[in-house]
Amino acid sequence: MTFNIELPSAKHGERMSQKYTCDGQDYSPEVVWSDPPSSTKSFILVVEDPDAPRGTFIHWVIYNLKPDVKQLPDNVPKEKTTSEGWAQGLNDFNRIGYNGPCPPRRKVHRYVFRLHAVLQEPNLEPGLTKKDLQKILDDKTVKSVSIMVRYGRSYE
């Protein structure tokens, strides 16, 4: 078995539904994963746009996902700490939780959902940025998996 991630709403490389963007409801999409390494203490999910005009742009940081969690539902509330105990960080919109794709008009960007299985107990404070988590991502990631979807705004 291989550590795997998927978005039920779109396959790798496909167009993301407008529902999950600034042009729609701006909901976070459902994310599902399977077969993580047995040594995993928690998961950290980072969603980023590597095609942003000023460099990689972070759309979502969610962490303190315990090792038995294998799915994030559609439309995770934009709260520092969810009812499940998951912590959410600041994205590059300077907001807590998920804010979806909002690329410049007539541009198609890639959005990478990268899930890190880490050797970090799920006890980090909420409100951290990807930069705050970088040392954990660099030093304590056992394995990571990703899926890439696309979104572009075709209207004037």
Please tell me the pTM assigned to this model: 0.96
What domain count does the chain have?
A: 1
The pLDDT tens digits along the chain (156 residues) read 799 999 999 999 999 999 999 999 999 999 999 999 999 999 999 999 999 999 999 999 999 999 999 999 999 999 999 999 999 999 999 999 999 999 988 889 999 999 999 999 999 999 999 999 999 999 999 999 999 999 998 654
Structural domain boundaries enclosing 120: 4-152
Query: Got the DSSP string for 51-101?
Result: T-TTS-EEEEEEEEE-TT--EE-SS----SB-TT--EE-B-TTS-BS----
CATH for 26: 3.90.280.10
